[in-house]
Structure 1
Amino acid sequence: MLGGTVLGQYDRSLGWDDMHSMNNAGIVFDDSQLAVDGIRIDNVTDGVRPKLADDFTIRNVHLSYVRDDCVENDHVHGGLVDDSLFDGCYEAFSARPSDAIIASGFDGSSKLWTIQSSLVRLQPMPGPRGASADGLGTGAFFKWHNWNNPDASLSPKLALYNNVFMAERVGQPGASRMGIPPEQLRDCANNVMVWLGPGDFPTSLPSCFTVTKDRAVWDNAVADWLARHPGVAP
């Protein structure tokens, strides 16, 4: 699938519960090996949702103000996210199957999800799941099955290359969930975490990450991405 624009018309002040209950997505697909290329999506519950879609590709995609998962891969497929701008996710990448999905036999533990050359920002949004002092909040970069019991996880393994991540605060799941799912990283190189919250980044990251508090690293990377993708709506 090449190109396209999806601009949600939902009230931007709605909280997580309201948006999650609508259960919509910018694009949902069931075709294995489908490539979603060059689509612009804003103000939806989930950005891209591969369902029965193993070996998916998401490339040159621009997402913003995604009120739940920028990519909901809860059917735990292998896939690729490449050269994409996720400029405002509540949660970035989800691979946490529901009980019904698990009962249907989906198991991604032997599969690989590669995320490369992409920009990923967690954006504080109204009415987060759970209370917050200012009424805003985010989730985490990765929402994974059996985070604390990785040997039993059904989520795919991860490979992370040449990405820039940014967060402004600790997400609602807590400091320990701000990093990479334990024992799920198969390969990794040359990633940057831009941390704008107080103090040090709240959890440990693997050695393939550099942490900076310089907002310009993110801003410059976004400007470069937009300049290289004039055909994708701003």
Structure 2
Amino acid sequence: MDRRSFMGLAGLYPALALLPGPSKAQGGQAPAQQPDSRSGTQIVLSGDYGYEKKSIRDLDIGATIDARMASFTVANSRNSNPDATTGCDEGELAINRYPVVVENCPGVRFVGGRFDGKVPLTSDWQDTYCNSAALLVRNGTTGATIESVRVRRCWDAIRIGEGAGGFRLKGCWLSETRDDAMENDYLLSGIVEDCLFDECFSGISVDPAKNARDGTGQVVRIDGSLIHMHGYLAKGEVTHEAPIKATEKSPMLRITGSVFALAAANMRGFRRLGRTWHKTIESRDNVLLWLPGESIPFDLPPPPSGFRVLTGASAREYWDKARLKWIAAHRDVARFSDEVM
């Protein structure tokens, strides 16, 4: 889509039909599927683990970890308001930077789990940067399915580490993330399907930073998912990153039936957004929402064909309806006591 077409399309589409979503069980949590018959291994986690770290290793192929009745606390800062003088590694507060770690569990299915974060939301990003992830999957955990997980107020929500290619995130609700809703900085192939990423500083990271990694032969598919950005204080201004943090070394992208909502007029990552579009090899039935009241900046990279564009009030109305529809359709995802039941 060229610049003239992009600016002309913005705002012309009414907020009527929302993206279709898969049918989910209404009321109560859906039963976990039976474990893989090859192993029969099933681990059930229940109760409030609080600040206890839970490490799970060396399960048989195709095991199930049923965490639907379990809750965890994720905390990355030793003080409630880190700043340039007193960073997140200083203070007396309890921390639990990696509450659940899954290692060497090929084909595992991790179902459910509620992760409540204590990560500061108002301090500057660079002062709050003590690395952390609510759920970390790595080291030989290939082909993992992570399903119906609820995480809020964390640093990274779900991190896919080294040796965890072929992942699948399905029906997860991740919100108020100070950094990445999902980090895949080892540039592995996988699927993000039917997920809600809400109020995120960054949506999906496929950025190797200064590491000599090359994911250009890999593919990440984003299907039927909602990614909503939110501004947080970062290096002195309230802003957010791109929905996908991409570089030229990132995997190729297939984006279908998904919504990207941009919330800050001064958003960072225009260059990353351009790289996202450049890495996209399939795009269809998508929506790009420009939520601010200000006009779309001229230098915002236009999306490829397969995206329609809404702006301002129409975009905000579309997002609100899409979000509520997703939540209503996913009664199997755990709620917090202060959320819509």
The size of the alignment, in residue pairs, is: 217
- Structure 1 8/124 Cα, relative in aligned 2: closer, same or farther at 3 Å? same
1:187 has 2:282 as partner: yes
Which one of the candidate residues 306, 310, 314 is aligned to 1:212? 310
Match of 1:113 among 211, 215, 220: 220
* C-alpha distance after superposition, 1:87-128 (max 9, x if no partner): 1110111111133x42xxx43111110001011001111x21
Question: RMSD across aligned C-alpha pairs, in angstroms?
Answer: 1.7
Q: Does 1:39 align with 2:149?
A: yes
Name the CA distance, whole Å, in 2 between partners of 1:159 and 1:137: 26
- Give the counterpart letter for 2:324 in structure 1: A
Aligned to 1:90: 201
Q: How far 1:203 sits from its partner (Å)?
A: 2.5
Q: Which has the larger radius of gyration?
A: 2
SS at match of 2:324: helix
Q: Does 1:55 align with 2:166?
A: yes
Deviation sequence 1:10-63 (CA, Å, 0-9, x none): 23222211332x100111101111011000001111111101210101111001
Q: What amino acid sits opposite 2:323 in the alignment?
A: V
> How far, CA to CA, are the matches of 2:282 and 2:246 in structure 1?
17
Shift in Å at residue 186 of structure 1?
Answer: 1.2
Return the match for 1:68 from 172, 179, 184: 179
Q: Which segments of 5 or more consecutive residues in structure 2 lack a partner in the other structure? A: 1-109, 336-341
Amino acid at match of 1:25: A
Q: Distance in 2 between matches of 1:91 and 1:179?
A: 15
Q: How far apart in 2 are the matches of 1:47 and 1:171?
A: 24
Partner residue in 2 for 1:224: 325
Q: Residue in 1 aligned with 2:246?
A: 144
How far apart are 1:175 and its partner, in Å?
3.7
1:42 and 1:66 in contact (8 A); partners too: yes
Q: After superposition, what is the alpha-carbon deviation per residue over 1:170-190, rounded to whole angstroms, capped at 9, x for unaligned? A: 455354444552531111101
Select which of 130, 134, 155 maps to 1:26. Answer: 134
Alpha-carbon distance between aligned partners in 1 of 2:269 and 2:132, rounded to the nearest angstrom: 26
What runs of 5+ residues in structure 1 fail to find an aligned partner? 146-152
Helix, strand or coil at the partner of 1:183: helix
CA contact (8 A) 2:157 2:181 kept: yes
**Are residues 181 and 10 of structure 1, via their aligned partners in 2, closer, same or farther at CA, if it must alter by over 3 Å?**
closer
Contact 2:288 2:307 in 1 (8 A): yes
Query: Do the aligned residues in 2 keep the contact of 1:171 with 1:178 (CA within 8 Å)?
Result: no
Residues 179 and 195 (structure 1 numbering): CA distance in 2 closer, same or farther, change over 3 Å? farther
2:236 to 131, 138, 144: 131
Larger mean Cα displacement after TM superposition, 31-40 or 224-233: 224-233
Rounded Cα–Cα distance in structure 2 between residues aligned with 1:77 and 1:63: 20
Distance 1:229 1:180, change over 3 A: farther
TM-score by length of 2: 0.61
Distance in 1 (alpha carbons) for counterparts of 2:205 and 2:265: 17
Q: Distance in 2 between matches of 1:160 and 1:96?
A: 18
Identity %: 28
Q: Residues of 1 paired with 2:227 and 2:149: CA distance?
A: 16
Q: CA deviation at 1:64?
A: 0.6
Q: 1:169: which partner in 2?
A: 264
Distance 1:179 1:66 in 2: 23
